[in-house]
């Protein structure tokens, strides 16, 4: 596989349409989904040529952890639908590569089991689905398992309207009714290898880190429980106390106002994100929102970017515009679908190789040398 687009094509051949579109799609007209990628095309490099760079130093320190290069594998829920190896494969691939992995609340692997297969940097992404007591129990499990950073998602007071999911019958497929599922089963039957793995995995649609009324949360309950328990600014205080003093990131920030509020509530940093274009369609591309957030933070905390990363050169552009690191979800999800852990490792290696080559071509020997003077934006940027 030469690039992430190759992994995407292979994933499309391996997965039923509903599962592939879950990874690949966005909300409503998918304007923000497309803009997340297109924004990187509107940033061009201003390289420093005729300089010797040697082998680049890709290392970066993010919230106290040294990473082999500035990439965190973003939280992706429902991963057991993508591949039976699921989060274990992702965590092992991240650990091998020396980067961090942020586990979704809606994951199919218990946090303590994930720690057993990974000695790398693990973060936990938090939804409050199920209410405060349920969330506090999830936080405690993650903390006891050695997860070092808590990323609190704030942009899901309701789920975005994902039209591909509706067309593909995802609500019906997630339901317990076979009569509702029946019209949508042919797409599953076209992928017998995937279907065999899914049928063999009885807990693929349960989330063991979210225990509601004594049982792991079921996938079909996600929309209801999320909308009943949206995260509000007043919740950050008790979340911080429950987490016990470790770093907290606020994920889902796209304005300077929200960035300042997050810091005021005690966050150690923010993740500039529009949920991969899966929530509010028409919200700004993450990269476009980045400079405003960086300016608002003013060096008082770390700013990370999530959304639109498809190449290592995208990581370089984000760092030049002020991000400390980036999170990337779709790229490794395509790899997971294509070939399990080996596919995730290939996705990471593609991004790492691209990143190192681009950094050296720009004229930098280390990540710390990247800065705003090395890129320029089009006239449509503020």
CA distance 229 to 248: 19
CA angle (129 as vertex; 128, 132 as ends), nearest 5: 50
Q: Which residues are catalytic?
A: 275
CA distance 113 to 117: 7
Q: Which two tokens stand for residue 87?
A: 């989060």
Find out whether 106 and 210 touch, Cβ atoms under 8 Å: yes
């Amino acid at each position: 596989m030469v690039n992430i687009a190759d992994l995407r094509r292979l994933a499309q051949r391996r997965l039923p349409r509903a599962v592939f579109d879950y990874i690949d799609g966005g909300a409503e007209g998918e304007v923000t989904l497309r803009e997340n990628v297109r924004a990187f095309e509107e940033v061009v490099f201003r390289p420093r040529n005729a300089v010797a760079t040697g082998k680049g130093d890709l290392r970066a320190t993010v919230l106290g952890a040294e990473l082999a290069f500035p990439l965190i594998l973003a939280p992706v829920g429902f991963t057991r639908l993508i591949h039976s190896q699921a989060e274990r494969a992702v965590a092992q691939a991240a650990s091998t590569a020396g980067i961090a992995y942020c586990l979704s609340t809606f994951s199919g692997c218990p946090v303590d089991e994930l720690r057993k297969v990974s000695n790398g940097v693990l973060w936990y992404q938090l939804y409050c689905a199920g209410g405060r007591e349920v969330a506090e129990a999830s936080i405690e499990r993650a903390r006891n398992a050695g997860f070092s950073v808590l990323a609190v998602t704030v942009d899901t007071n309701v789920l975005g309207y994902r039209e591909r999911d509706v067309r593909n019958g995802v609500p019906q497929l997630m339901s317990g009714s076979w009569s509702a599922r029946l019209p949508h089963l042919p797409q599953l039957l076209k992928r017998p290898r995937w279907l065999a793995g899914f049928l063999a995995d009885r807990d693929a649609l349960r989330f063991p880190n979210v225990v509601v009324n004594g049982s792991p949360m079921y996938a079909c309950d996600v929309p209801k429980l999320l909308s009943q328990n949206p995260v509000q600014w007043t919740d950050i205080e008790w979340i911080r106390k429950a987490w016990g003093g470790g770093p907290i990131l606020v994920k889902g920030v796209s304005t300077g106002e929200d960035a300042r509020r997050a810091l005021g509530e005690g966050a150690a940093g923010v993740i500039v994100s529009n949920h991969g274009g899966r929530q509010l369609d028409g919200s700004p591309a993450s990269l476009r929102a980045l400079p405003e957030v960086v300016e608002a933070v003013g060096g008082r905390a770390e700013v990370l970017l999530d959304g639109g990363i498809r190449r290592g050169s995208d990581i370089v552009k984000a760092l030049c515009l002020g991000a400390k690191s980036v999170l990337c979800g779709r790229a490794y999800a395509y790899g997971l679908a294509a070939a399990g852990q080996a596919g995730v490792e290939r996705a990471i290696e593609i991004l790492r190789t691209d990143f190192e080559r681009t950094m050296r071509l720009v004229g930098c020997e280390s990540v710390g040398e990247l800065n705003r003077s090395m890129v320029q934006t089009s006239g449509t940027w503020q």
